[in-house]
Structure 1
Amino acid sequence: MATIEKRVGRRSVSYRITVSDGYDGNYKKIRHRKTWRVPEGWSEKRAEKEVQKVAIEFEQKIRQGYEIDNRKTFGEYAEYVIGVKERAGVKHNTILSYQYLLRGVREKIGNMKLVDIRPFHLNELYRSLQEKGLRCTESKVHIAMDLGEFLKEHKISRARLSREAGVSHTTVTSACRGNKIFRQQAEKMSKALGKPAEELFVADEKTVKLSPKTIREYHQFVRVVLAQAEREMLVPYNAADKATPPRRVHTTANYFQPDVLGEILRELEDEPMKWRVITHLMIVTGCRRGEIMGLHWSKVDWVHQRIKIDNNLLYAKDRGIYEGTTKTENIRYIRLPEETMELLREYKSSQEELRIANGDRWYGDDFVFTRDDGRPMHPDSITNWLDLFSKRRGLPHINPHAFRHTVASMLIADGLDMVTVSHQLGHTKVSTTDDYYAHVIEDERSKKSACVADIMLRTREIT
């Protein structure tokens, strides 16, 4: 039975409700308390009647297992949930994403008690994010001085800086030319040169307006946290399930027509062997960027002309470059054309020559694609190279995922069944492929309808 204690203050009247719920390990009564304040203008009779209802409801919730009087804030509990997810084996980059998203919601709901969060609070959060955007620092920076002259003056070769900083020779050359490089690469180079990064490199801060997709990511994070609270019976329902985030905007996948793809392949002929093979593999397999960059020679089946995709090369600021499972954690084999196998054989021979030339300086670990000293490449390096390649050759903008969309579109256009297409792409569910490439499927259906019309109707007109 709940006990009710009236408290009269200088400016308001409140009632403290206490419910006993068994004993703890030290045989002390477990008590849950809740304070209910009388709204201004209420009579004493009305207040006493209402507090009885509040006490009964509070007691019922306690008996059902809800710690409705808990004082955990969303920020505190979110940190606990992130820890739970990490121990449960959630991917490291997902954990980093959760930590980043938590920083974005702290201002609005971080100090709110879990039990106080309502759908309208979350709707206000989404509105605020939409209007304000986020202040962010560019992930890329550019040199604030003539790096080439600096190296000459201090008698440091580009090769030496590359070796001591642990970055590729291409990165050093790019920085010398004044091109943007990744912040983490700039920090390594600055450390090797014994200079503060902010003295050598410059980055501009900017406010980014958040897209509906990004705001939905915040919504999904809040939903994950409150779902855990609901499972642990800390809240009676998940407020995020009843909130209204921005509608998902479906974008059309970027893919190349056969003539543009042919032009890209022709332009690749004059490029360095390593980049040529990387791009060629992306074109013929439709694999994700990290899957290609994380490929090992031991996963190349020369007899059956196929590669095994079971690995993903990733980067995290706290870990650096590391290996993980594929995005969907599945394993698949992809058969390669004879031309691709021949290109791989040629590249393997050139890599072996590089390994011999490096001698003890080679840090190789069976990776197909490596830096000049055998270490794995940064997974973002292919994105940077393709961007520069497309500009240098006067081609449409190229990003790694465009090749993936191109493979999917061509397979669908060729009449391949969706199960096979889904397997080629490494999707967990066929429905994912079906949803993502709905526009391509619809185009092919339209062509088939026109074909049926030609056969069934227009031939009649001719006769």
Structure 2
Amino acid sequence: MAEGSVTKFCTCRDKDTGKRLNGRCPKLRRPSGAWHPTHGRWSYQLELPRAVGEPRRQLRRYRFDNRDEAVAEREHALALLALAGGNNDLAVEIGDLLHQVKPTAPLPERDMIARRVKAGVPASTAKLLGDYLPEWLTGRQIEPGTRRSYDSHIRNHLNPHLGHIPLEKLRVGHIQAMFAAIADRSTAIEVARSSDDPAVRASVKGERITGAATMHRIRATLRKALNDAIGKHRLIEFNPAMHVELPSGKRPKARVWTAAAVKHWRATGERPSPVMVWTPEQAGQFLDYAEAHDLVLYHLYALILHRGLRRGEAIGLRDIDLDLDDAAIHLVQQITTDGYTPVTKSLKSDSSERTVTLDDSTVANFRSYLAMRARWQLVSGHTWVTTGLMFVQPGGQPWHPDTVTKRFDDLVEKSGLPPIRLHDLRHCAATYLKASGADIKDIQETLGHSTHNLTADTYTSVLHELETEREKANAAVALVPRSGRKAA
């Protein structure tokens, strides 16, 4: 390997031609031939490795106040090239890296390049995060819903805040600054929404607040992408997303629509929690209203309320999955959406694929529904659409998941009951099971939760509110004197 040379230069120009003299300037040396101590600056040049057939190239650096500095950097560059250990392809790669360094920028640290060489990571990587993330997403084989989530995180958060940073230079501080900016923007949106000025409120119309749970998912997307950059693509060797701390993204606790909560909601329109549960009396009122006003979907809503199915599981239930003799349903598939397009797919985990025992009331509801569906089929005749699905429209067509949700929301609004989401019927089922004496393990298996803790953390807190309502009811009854019993 050529050792290169160290010399002096200046910016003086020839008086006649105006061209720079560089190393030919007579002021650079004293009459004795020694270098002038103050005129000019030091530089070095070094022949860089090249691929076969490629032209020669040199590393030239002109920025040193004294010879020792120039020599030290030349030795540093030689040490980097020596990491190739006789491998010409790797030497060319390190040469590419040196050739790309800007004149005023320092050379890469030897230890960093040594670690990358040892790990098999390309030494000359300079890909921006904003270029890498879309390429990474394109190459992944994942569910459509997961892809949309990753794409949203990349487009709306990761690339706008971090896309300009080279992969290898991304640090924990960069990511923490991104989340701080996201949190600040969410605060600004909340402040603007509560403003008395209509123009201020209008300025954030359509903008969404990014909560703690979403920030955890954004970090998870980045963490996965960077892990693949390390393991699959061998582009980097450190994942800064692994070391970023965020506020807790705990699941919201389920709350009961107690009398006090309903009164506050009617006065302010505010819900105590994103996850709300009806009391058994309120649930009964809803089923009565649904049966009277939307008999076509009443049985599906009743199944979710009593047995805790997810929306996609109920819509995807097939005729062959129902066993009335054994009073059970076997959940093996679901119908969800990709954008607005319905998609049928298997359940995502072993715990989700399960057998759910049916109570007598639900068995009776199924028999009633099947009789009604048979009448639909007779009326439709040859136009009946055969899908094999349990819950269908009067012509046999499958339900669109969004339609099922929209009709539920419409029923809740018109019934005058305090609002809950369709998914909250599942929470109601779990709450009533726990209140009636079922243990957490039984509820976990009925709902198809993956862990015992998920079930306990989500539902245990609602029991106190139900018990409080029961105590109020008992106290009210005790005030009414009955034969053979004293008033309280």
The TM-score normalised by the length of structure 1 is 0.69
Alpha-carbon distance between aligned partners in 1 of 2:282 and 2:165, rounded to the nearest angstrom: 54
C-alpha deviations, 1:238-275, integer Å up to 9, x for none? 11111233432542222122222222233233123222
Out of 65-74 and 329-338, give the one that drifted further.
65-74
1:325 and 2:346 matched: yes
Paired letter, 1:255: V
Task: Find the partner of 2:97 among 34, 50, 61.
Answer: 34
Report whether the alignment pairs 1:59 with 2:80. Answer: no
Separation in structure 2 between the aligned mates of residue 346 and residue 377 of structure 1, nearest angstrom: 19
2:129 alignment partner AA? F
Q: Is the 8 A contact 1:229 1:235 kept in 2?
A: yes
SS of the aligned residue for 2:93 comes to strand
Which residue in the other structure is 1:20 paired with?
84
2:371 corresponds to = 349
The superposition leaves residues 335-390 of structure 1 with CA deviations (integer Å, 9 ceiling, x where unpaired) of 11222222222222222332343344333311122234322211122221121111
State yes or no: 1:366 paired with 2:388: yes
Q: Distance in 2 between matches of 1:236 and 1:442?
A: 50
SS of the residue corresponding to residue 292 of structure 2 reads: coil
For residues 382 and 131 of structure 2, the distance between their equivalents in structure 1, rounded to whole angstroms, comes to 50
Corresponding residue number in structure 2 for 1:231 = 231
Q: Which amino acid aligns with 1:91?
A: E
1:31 maps to a residue whose letter is E
What corresponds to 1:389 in structure 2? 411
Structure 1 counterpart SS, 2:401: coil
Matched, 1:119 2:172: yes
Q: Residue 63 of structure 2 contacts residue 104 of structure 2 at CA under 8 Å; is this kept in 1?
A: no
State how far apart, in whole Å, the 2-side matches of 1:230 and 1:370 are.
Answer: 48
Where 1:248 maps in the other structure, the secondary structure is coil
- What letter is aligned with 2:217? E
Partner of 1:110: 163
Q: Distance in 2 between matches of 1:3 and 1:345?
A: 90
Counterpart position of 2:272: none
CA distance in 2, matches of 1:359, 1:321: 26
The 8 Å contact of residues 412 and 440 in structure 1, kept in 2 or not, is answered as: no
Q: Which amino acid aligns with 1:423?
A: E
Which letter maps to 1:20? Answer: A
Question: Judging changes above 3 Å, is the alpha-carbon distance between structure 1 residues 224 and 94 closer, same or farther for their aligned structure 2 residues?
Answer: same
Question: Which shifted more, 298-307 or 265-274?
Answer: 265-274
Which residue matches 1:99? 151
Larger deviation, residues 13-22 vs 104-113: 13-22
1:197 is matched with none
Q: Return closer, same or farther for 1:364/1:58 CA change in 2, 3 Å cut-off.
A: same
Task: Give me the whole-angstrom Cα distance separating, in 2, the residues matched to 1:412 and 1:399.
Answer: 20
Question: Is this contact kept in 1: 2:252–2:458, CA < 8 A?
Answer: no
Which residue is 1:207 aligned to?
207
Distance across 1 between alignment mates of 2:159 and 2:3: 36
Counterparts of 1:135-284 in structure 2 under 5 Å? 206-232=206-232, 233-253=234-254, 254-284=276-306
Code of the aligned partner of 2:210: L
Aligned mate of 1:403, from 425, 446, 462: 425
Matched position secondary structure for 1:206 = coil
The 8 Å contact of residues 119 and 240 in structure 1, kept in 2 or not, is answered as yes
Q: Partner letter of residue 410 of structure 2?
A: L
Structure 1 or 2: more strand by fraction: 1
Q: In 2, Cα distance between the equivalents of 1:20 and 1:304? A: 71
Q: Per-residue CA shift, 1:106-153, capped at 9, x if unaligned?
A: 22222422111111111122223333469xxxxxxxxxxxxxxxxxxx
Relative to structure 1, is the Cα distance of residues 92 and 59 closer, same or farther in structure 2, using a 3 angstrom cutoff? same
Instruction: Tell me which residue corresponds to 1:184.
Output: none
Q: CA deviation at 1:430?
A: 1.6
Offset, 1:22: 6.8
Q: What residue identity is the alignment partner of 1:328?
A: S
Q: Which amino acid aligns with 1:103?
A: R
- 8 A contact 2:153–2:221 mirrored in 1: yes
Report the Cα distance in structure 2 between the residues aligned to 1:79 and 1:304, rounded to whole angstroms: 50
Whichever residue aligns with residue 84 of structure 2, its letter is S
Displacement of 1:215: 2.2
Q: 1:84 to 1:373 in 2, by over 3 A?
A: same
Query: What SS does the corresponding residue of 1:269 show, helix, strand or coil?
Result: helix
Query: In structure 2, the residue corresponding to 1:415 is in which secondary structure?
Result: coil
CA distance in 2, matches of 1:125, 1:68: 28
The letter for the 2-side match of 1:242 is H
Deviation string, structure 1 residues 21-44 (Cα, Å, up to 9, x no partner):
7769xx89662343466879xxxx
Structure 2 Cα separation of the partners of residues 380 and 308 of structure 1: 23
Q: 1:433 to 1:249 in 2, by over 3 A?
A: closer
Distance 1:367 1:118 in 2: 51
Instruction: Judge which range, 385-394 or 414-423, deviates more.
Output: 414-423
1:424-435 matches, within 5 Å, as: 424-435=446-457
Amino acid of the structure 2 residue aligned with 1:74: L
Q: 2:442 aligns with which of 417, 420, 431?
A: 420
For residues 349 and 248 of structure 2, the distance between their equivalents in structure 1, rounded to whole angstroms, comes to 25
Secondary structure of residue in 2 paired with 1:314: strand
How large is the Cα RMSD of the aligned pairs? 3.6
* Aligned partner of residue 278 in structure 2, secondary structure: coil
Give the partner amino acid of 2:118: R
Contact 1:364–1:373 (Cα < 8 Å) also in 2: no
Mapped pair 1:79 → 2:130: no
How high is the TM-score relative to the length of structure 2? 0.65
Shift of 1:314: 0.8
SS at 1:322 equivalent: strand
> Quick one: distance in 2 between partners of 1:386 and 1:22?
71
SS of the counterpart of 2:461? helix
Q: How many residues align?
A: 362
Deviation at 1:432, TM superposition (A): 1.9
Residue identity over aligned pairs, in percent, reads 21
CA–CA distance in structure 2, aligned partners of residues 418 and 57 of structure 1: 51
Give the aligned partner of residue 330 of structure 2.
308
2:124 is aligned, of 61, 65, 69, to 69
Q: Which runs of 5+ in 1 are unaligned?
A: 41-46, 135-203, 447-463
Moved more, 252-261 or 277-286: 252-261
Q: For 2:178 and 2:445, how far apart are their aligned partners in 1?
A: 39
State the shift of 1:286 in Å: 0.7
Which residue of structure 1 aligns with residue 261 of structure 2?
A: none
Q: Please, which moves more after superposition, 415-424 or 68-77?
A: 68-77
